[in-house]
Amino acid sequence: MMKYCAFLLVAILQFSLDANVLQAQVPARRPARVMPAEQRADRLTTEGLALMRRGRTTLAQAKFQQALRLDPQNVRAHLAYADLLLKENKSLAAYDHFTKAMKFSPAGAKDRDRAAQVIARLRSQHPEWFSRVQPRPVDAGKSAQRQTHEPLPGGQTPAVPPRPNGIKPTLAVLPFAAPGSDSTLGVSFSEMVATAMINRAAYRIVERRQIEHVFQEQALGQTGALEAETAVAVGKILGVQTVAVGNLSQLEAGYETDARVLNVESGEALLASHAQAASSAQFREAAESLAADLSAKVGNVQNSLQPDSAAVAPAHH
């Protein structure tokens, strides 16, 4: 019995020694290498194109959207998504992505030329969205007044007193672009701005459900900020005089937000404003700050609108 126990102990020790030797010979596992966002976006775009060729457009769309959230300047993803939207007769959303593809493509690139051709075709097919009324020429007597509309350094615009008994301009507050992939953050913030604007009663604010209907109908707002021309086209569909667009930027010290009010007829920026928030808990205060600034400058908007631009959409009063 003693010999058997001794033999068993020796065997256990030998097994333990062999296991340690084998473990020492196995190389340490390397940490998984994280693929850069640009490469992941390219891979997702390739997968989306393959799905698109097989007719699986819903899955392809999800791939393109994911790619653009990872890399908002990915020209290949913008073009692929634009082609899909065009096939589904979502012309305005396709226009927006072709515009982004052209903006992010280097000069002389083949992709840039193709995007420009499609943009020109869409412009001619949809003059109701893209026709522009040129800003009125400014005579010498009003030049000083016109100069007060120019933005100040830092994105602010000086206020012009509102016209006595002036008509309140109609305004659609479009969803703000948000940092990262959380588009709901920008939507929530824009709703706070719209509510604050309603309470100040300087503009007639379009109902949120009307904006949502247009965005859903046109397949907009899935991959970040709209181009200015697209935002103006949304304003034309809504039948408003002005649209407010903006973005949230996340910084080390919190958030910054910038907003602009665009003239739907001419496409020019009428106002610019800026606010900060130390955290998302202070978004409402930042929204109130933007609303106060834009409302105080309603006179700028009244002076800039065409006299006959009296488009009226159902709105809050």
pLDDT tens readout for residues 226-281: 889 999 999 999 999 999 999 888 888 889 999 999 999 989 999 999 999 998 88
Write the CATH number for 79.
1.25.40.10
Residues 95 and 156 both lie in one domain: no
Supply the range of the domain harboring residue 46.
37-126
Write the CATH number for 305.
3.40.50.10070
Q: Does residue 232 lie in a domain region?
A: yes
**pLDDT tens-digit readout, 90-111:** 999 999 999 999 999 888 788 8
Residues 271 and 177 both lie in one domain: yes
Spatial distance between the Cα atoms of 190 and 199, rounded to a whole number of angstroms: 14
Residues 204 and 67 both lie in one domain: no
Q: Does residue 25 lie in a domain region?
A: no
* Token representation of residue 220: 């907009």
Amino acid at 262: L
Residues 61 and 173 both lie in one domain: no
Q: Does residue 167 lie in a domain region?
A: yes
**pLDDT score of 259:** 94
Residues 166 and 311 both lie in one domain: yes
Q: Does residue 201 lie in a domain region?
A: yes
Residue 87 pLDDT exceeds 90:
yes
Smallest CA-to-CA distance from 135 within 124, 149, 121 is with: 149
Quick one: average pLDDT of 197-202? 93
Residues 191 and 272 both lie in one domain: yes
Spatial distance between the Cα atoms of 157 and 150, rounded to a whole number of angstroms: 6
Contact 89, 58 (CB under 8 A): no
Residues 58 and 167 both lie in one domain: no
Q: Does residue 163 lie in a domain region?
A: yes
**3-class DSSP state for residue 136?**
coil
Spatial distance between the Cα atoms of 185 and 178, rounded to a whole number of angstroms: 6
Residues 107 and 187 both lie in one domain: no
Spatial distance between the Cα atoms of 91 and 217, rounded to a whole number of angstroms: 11
Residues 308 and 185 both lie in one domain: yes
Angle, vertex CA 209, rays to CA 203 and CA 214, nearest 5: 95
Looking at 108, 126, 144, the residue that finishes a domain is: 126
Looking at 126, 142, 176, the residue that finishes a domain is: 126
Q: Does residue 284 lie in a domain region?
A: yes
* Token representation of residue 93: 């959303």
Residues 158 and 268 both lie in one domain: yes
Contact 193, 259 (CB under 8 A): yes
**pLDDT score of 261:** 95
**pLDDT score of 187:** 87
Quick one: average pLDDT of 45-62? 95
Judged by average pLDDT, the poorest of 77-81, 107-111, 302-306 is 302-306
Residues 79 and 228 both lie in one domain: no
Spatial distance between the Cα atoms of 70 and 36, rounded to a whole number of angstroms: 9
Residues 179 and 109 both lie in one domain: no
Domain count for the chain: 2
Q: What is the 3-state secondary structure (H, E, C) of 7-54?
A: HHHHHHHHHHHHHHHHHHHCCCCCCCCCCCHHHHHHHHHHHHHHHHHC
Q: Does residue 9 lie in a domain region?
A: no
Looking at 91, 126, 161, the residue that finishes a domain is: 126
Position with higher pLDDT, 92 vs 132: 92
Q: Does residue 107 lie in a domain region?
A: yes
